[in-house]
Amino acid sequence: MCRLVLTGIEKIYKDKKQEKKAVQNLTVHFEHGVYGLLGENGAGKTTLMRMIVGILKPTQGQITYDEVPIRQLGGAYRSLLGYLPQDFGYYKDFSAVRFLNYIAALKAIAPQTAKERIDRLLETVGLADARNKKLKTFSGGMLRRIGIAQALLNEPQILILDEPTAGLDPRERVRFRNIISALGKDRIVILSTHIVSDVEYIADQIMIMKQGALIKTGTQAKILEPVAGCVWKCSVPECEAEALNAAYAVSNLRGGEHSGQVELRIVSQEKPHSDAAAVEPVLEDAYLYYYLCERSHHRGAWDQKGGTI
């Protein structure tokens, strides 16, 4: 089985005035499966992905594929890669099919193979009818789909997707979840997203990043384990809801239409309200839980306050 190993990875951006540590001392290994990378903006997800792709050179540490440094592998490593950047540019006058042919040429795919794969992928991403349309006429969702198609052109062993479902409508998102899920069976798929439910449905392993560091990794069950008994649901009047919202980490807040009652989902180690009932945690609760633990810099601060903020 092929293994991608990151050892002691660090990335420091040097500005004229200051240094910014985007990724710090990160060690992780990837085998076949879907890895979901969660984290807020600026957590270092994109920098990490760019280093895995080989675009950015780590300031410290090494990335190896099958025990060989990826920089040493060069083109051989890149030929195993499929990458969808968060924002990718394109030549506006290119049609969808020309764009994919251009990328196929860059990926050194033989023309006949490229033609077959382009036809198949355009069908897969639902752009067969728009194959000759110029990219400048495409909507955000269509561009995302063509981006996913180009990432799959070389049938990659390592698929890296930065916000793959951003801009897609719910039906397309479900379709892509299924595609990505199927791909993860025999290759490494790493995807970053803000949409927690995407990770929840398809990731075998979840990685939560905060300020350049991995704060939690594991299967969904492992991630949820410490959160059990810390998620509460209660229905309170609007005036009370505001106070609870200020005092606790509220993962969901839903107002009743006419009742004047508000339904809250709270992440807290103590019971937040006399009417609150413990509920099963979901990944969104866990995400909030770990982020709040880290926000107070150490678990102790969270615990001292009884898990409130």
Q: Which residues bind other proteins (CB under 8 A)?
A: 13, 50, 53-57, 75, 78-79, 81, 83, 85-94, 98, 101-114, 150, 154
> Least Å distance between CB 102 and other proteins?
4
Using the minimum distance from each CB to other proteins, give the nearer residue, 19 or 257: 19
CB burial readout 158-190, b (16+ within 10 A) else e: bbbbbbbbbbbeeebbebbbebbeebbeebbbb
> Least Å distance between CB 79 and other proteins?
5
> Least Å distance between CB 153 and other proteins?
9
> Least Å distance between CB 123 and other proteins?
19
> Least Å distance between CB 13 and other proteins?
8
Contact 10, 25 (CB under 8 A): yes
Q: Which residue has the tokens 């897969």?
A: 124
Using the minimum distance from each CB to other proteins, give the nearer residue, 95 or 235: 95
Using the minimum distance from each CB to other proteins, give the nearer residue, 38 or 81: 81
Using the minimum distance from each CB to other proteins, give the nearer residue, 16 or 297: 16
Contact 278, 250 (CB under 8 A): no
Alpha-carbon distances, residue 120 vs 80, 138, 149 (angstroms):
19, 19, 9
Using the minimum distance from each CB to other proteins, give the nearer residue, 45 or 78: 78
